[in-house]
């Protein structure tokens, strides 16, 4: 038997003790009752913490997000915005006395900045009246900075009239003369540009910040992470495409003096993306994240420090085989806290700003969305496979946490989540592969259970120890299955070599790891080798489509939003492999070797195919091509199409329908329960 490594502190060892059957599993209906806590923001003085909390009304098929006020000492939280109003991006003033946030209220045609006093009673008041809407806000000094997408050459009145005409038109046509034309689930208007503006926090005129540079922010998407302003409000650092051809962007970091028309590309020498600018608390250093391989989104992200006076770059983490992410400066400017994708867990790390030394702070469960006050109080969210995100205070010395709320405790008190553990097995060429194994409630090791093997997307997005709403392994397990996620070759968090080992051959190693995972389970007395099922979405749908044309032990497959035809995937908002390995007319053998549609002659497994119309990352035609292929070959198959969903199924009733249809398919072909 292959070596088994248990990483977690399970309350019971599922292979040793049978649990009682339960009537209250983690159902999809219950998941939509969970209150979902978003990214917290702590006031600079450390007293107040604000986070968005979203509740869903299934009967109305929509969510409602409110801002809640929390305290670092755990006092009872309370909502500070009303129900039914859109709110996002809470941001404290430098003195912590006022909260800015984005909302659309009353007569607003678009999102605007609102201000709410925190040091006295009062109602939120609107600060901006920008017809094109605002997002990506930052409060620095006396100003609130924001992003809006404008029509160059038009003033605000002209833009308001332009929007009015667009809302009134009966013409649905869109036109493009260059790329990009879409991003994930929305079209991009090539006549508009994203720029940073600012407005005095006390009120006044909106002032352009980046427009005078003649350089727009990266066109596909922008957020508050796309720029930063130093504490003196003299400098702005922002990301932009220096090639500006729209086909193969080169995202660089530009540094501009506010109030002038000059901005300099400070990362021109690096052909790969340079992103996430962050000024130090004293403004003397600009931190940012650098990758080095163009066209490889999972290339290690290194932390770089740019000395504002010397104009030098110091790469801090080039010798650390992990990608940096979720960075916040420590209040003294001597280091960073970060959330690092580290061997299937998102852990909090400290990174020393002088030597680049790293220190893990937290352990086995996921942490995200860090925010730190000037007095060093560190907060974030914590979650695991067994509980949704919680707001916690984190001790940066030892990783101990203090929970600051009790959301969902009553709802989940009687839910039997089953159990889970982390194991390793030998995959391709004997390489150790990590895998999460979830056991159903009432698991009895003296019985044989069916397997539901989940294949994650990306392919470079590892499954970490967090709560998943769209593909919840505990929910699948509650149907009567042993469920597993394996972090096959190509997964993030296990080092650069492991992540890059599947490029450009997306097939060989992940397929071998998947079959090896199935074989690992087949050696267990508690798995029924005649009842095995597999499936995944995006790249997971791709690899499931590969399984259709190769040998495997699965009775049937679930294939959601699959990359099925590597040639027609050119219709997506980006083209796989084109930057790094050439387009299919330049290197056709690469695409032919890895495209599932070339194996259609060997398809013989029943498959459920699911796709959404608004998916521009993997266009909906991919799913329909696969479904027609299966039907043409006389293979039992079912196509489920969502006209109002993108790459993911996000609406409550659609999600409930999705889970129930998946349950119907998997139970039909792989009956559940221990025998």
Looking at residue 22, what is its pLDDT?
A: 57
Q: Structurally, what CATH architecture does the domain formed by 129-166+183-315 represent?
A: 6 Propeller (2.120)
**Which one, of 317, 389, 384, 378, lies nearest residue 345 by Cα?**
384
Please tell me the predicted confidence (pLDDT) of residue 7: 36
User: What is residue 662's predicted lDDT score, i.e. its pLDDT?
Assistant: 98
pLDDT value at residue 653: 98
Among 3.40.1260.10, 3.40.50.1820, 3.30.1490.190, 3.40.50.10790, what is the CATH number of 415-568+602-669?
3.40.50.1820
For strand 251-257 and strand 263-265, is the pairing parallel, antiparallel, or unpaired? antiparallel
Q: How far apart are CA 474 and CA 415, in angstroms?
A: 11
Does the pLDDT value for residue 9 go beyond 90?
no
pLDDT digits (tens, 9 = 90+) for 523-537: 999 999 999 999 999
Higher-pLDDT residue of 23, 608: 608
pLDDT of the residue at 85: 86
Cβ-based burial of 210 (10 A; exposed 0-12, middle 13-18, buried ≥19): buried
* pLDDT tens, residue by residue, 313-339: 999 999 999 999 999 999 999 999 999
For 151-270, strand residue ranges (E) read 182-183, 186-187, 193-200, 207-208, 227-229, 235-241, 251-257, 263-265
Percent of the chain with pLDDT over 90: 93
pLDDT at 251: 97
Judge if pTM exceeds 0.75: yes
- 25-38 pLDDT, tens digit per residue, is 999 999 999 999 99
For residue 184, with 0-12 CB atoms within 10 Å meaning exposed, 13-18 middle and 19 or more buried, which class applies?
A: middle
Question: Is residue 516 pLDDT above 80, yes or no?
Answer: yes
Q: pLDDT tier at 2 (50, 70, 90 boundaries)?
A: very low
Residues 180 and 245: their CA atoms lie apart, in Å, by 9
Residues spanned by CATH 3.40.50.1820 within the chain?
A: 415-568+602-669
DSSP 202-232: T----EESSGGGT-PPPSS---GGGEEE-TT
Per-residue pLDDT tens digits for 557-597 = 999 999 999 999 999 998 899 999 999 999 999 999 999 99
Estimate to the nearest angstrom the gap between the alpha carbon of 231 and the chain centroid.
Answer: 29
pLDDT tens digits for range 74-83:
888 999 999 8
What is the Cα–Cα distance from 112 to 535, expressed in whole angstroms? Answer: 42
Is residue 43's pLDDT more than 60? yes
Confidence of residue 670 (pLDDT cuts 50, 70, 90): very high
133 closest CA partner among 147, 152, 143:
147
- Portion of the chain with pLDDT greater than 70, in percent: 97
**HEC sequence for 572-585:** CCCCCCHHHHCCCC
pLDDT for the residue 246: 82
Query: What does the pLDDT look like over 410-452, one tens digit per residue?
Result: 999 999 999 999 999 999 999 999 999 999 999 999 999 999 9
The pLDDT value recorded for residue 11 is 35
CATH 2.120.10.30-classified regions of the chain: 129-166+183-315
- Averaged pLDDT of the chain: 95
The DSSP bridge partners found for residue 54 are: 36, 65
């Amino acid at each position: 038997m292959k070596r088994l490594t248990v990483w977690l502190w399970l309350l019971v060892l599922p292979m040793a003790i049978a649990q009682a059957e339960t009537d209250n599993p983690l159902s999809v209906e219950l998941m939509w009752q969970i209150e979902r806590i978003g990214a917290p923001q702590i006031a600079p003085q450390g007293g107040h913490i604000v986070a968005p909390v979203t509740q869903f009304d299934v009967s109305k098929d929509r969510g409602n997000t409110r801002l809640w006020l929390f305290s670092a000492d755990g006092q009872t939280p309370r909502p500070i915005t009303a129900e039914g109003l859109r709110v996002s991006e809470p941001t404290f003033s430098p003195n912590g006395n006022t909260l800015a946030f984005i909302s659309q209220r009353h007569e607003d045609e678009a999102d605007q900045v609102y201000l709410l006093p925190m040091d006295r009673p009062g109602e939120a008041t609107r600060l901006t009246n920008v017809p094109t809407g605002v997002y990506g806000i930052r409060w620095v000094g006396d100003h609130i900075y924001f992003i809006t997408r404008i029509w160059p050459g038009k003033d605000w009145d002209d833009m308001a009239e332009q929007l009015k005409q667009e809302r009134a038109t009966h013409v649905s046509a869109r036109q493009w003369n260059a790329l990009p034309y879409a991003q994930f689930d929305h079209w991009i208007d090539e006549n508009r540009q994203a720029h940073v503006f600012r407005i005095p926090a006390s009120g006044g005129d909106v002032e352009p910040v980046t427009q005078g540079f003649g350089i727009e922010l990266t066109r596909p998407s922008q957020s508050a992470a796309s720029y930063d302003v130093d504490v003196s409000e003299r400098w702005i650092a922002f990301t932009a495409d220096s090639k500006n051809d729209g086909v193969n962007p080169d995202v660089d970091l530009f540094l501009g003096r506010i109030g002038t028309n000059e901005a300099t590309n400070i990362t021109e020498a690096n052909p790969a993306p340079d992103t996430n600018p962050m000024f130090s608390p004293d403004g003397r250093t600009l931190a940012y994240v650098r990758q080095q391989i163009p066209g490889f989104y999972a290339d290690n992200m290194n932390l770089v420090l740019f000395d504002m006076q010397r104009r030098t770059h110091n790469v801090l983490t080039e010798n650390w085989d992990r990608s940096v992410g979720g960075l916040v400066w420590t209040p003294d400017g001597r280091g960073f806290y970060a959330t690092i994708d580290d061997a299937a867990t998102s852990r909090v790390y400290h990174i020393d700003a002088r030597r680049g030394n790293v220190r893990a702070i937290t352990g086995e469960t996921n942490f995200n969305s860090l925010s730190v006050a000037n007095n060093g109080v560190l907060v974030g969210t914590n979650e695991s496979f067994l509980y949704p995100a919680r707001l916690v205070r984190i001790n940066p010395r030892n990783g101990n946490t203090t929970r600051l709320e009790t959301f969902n405790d009553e709802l989940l008190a009687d839910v039997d989540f089953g159990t889970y553990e982390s194991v390793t097995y030998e995959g391709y060429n004997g390489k150790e592969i990590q895998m999460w194994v979830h056991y159903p409630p009432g698991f009895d090791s003296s019985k044989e259970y069916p397997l539901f093997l989940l294949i994650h997307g990306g392919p470079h997005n590892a499954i970490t120890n967090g709560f998943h709403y769209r593909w919840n392994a505990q929910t699948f397990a509650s149907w009567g299955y042993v469920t597993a996620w394996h972090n096959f070759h190509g997964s993030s968090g296990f080092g650069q070599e492991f992540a890059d080992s599947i490029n450009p051959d997306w097939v060989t190693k992940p397929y071998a790891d998947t079959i090896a995972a199935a074989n690992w389970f087949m050696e267990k007395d508690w798995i029924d080798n005649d009842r095995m099922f597999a499936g995944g979405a995006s790249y997971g749908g791709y690899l499931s489509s590969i399984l259709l044309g190769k040998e495997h032990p699965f009775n049937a497959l679930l294939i959601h939003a699959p990359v099925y035809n590597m040639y027609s995937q050119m219709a997506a908002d980006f083209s796989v492999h084109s930057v790094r390995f050439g387009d299919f007319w330049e290197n056709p053998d690469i695409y032919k070797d890895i495209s599932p549609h070339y194996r259609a002659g060997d398809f013989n497994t029943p498959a459920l195919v699911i796709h959404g119309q608004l998916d521009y990352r993997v266009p909906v035609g991919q799913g329909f091509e696969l479904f027609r292929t299966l039907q043409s070959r006389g293979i039992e198959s079912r196509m489920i199409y969502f006209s109002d969903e993108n790459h993911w199924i996000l609406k409550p009733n659609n999600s409930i329908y999705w889970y129930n249809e998946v349950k119907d398919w998997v139970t039909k072909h792989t009956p559940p329960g221990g025998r």
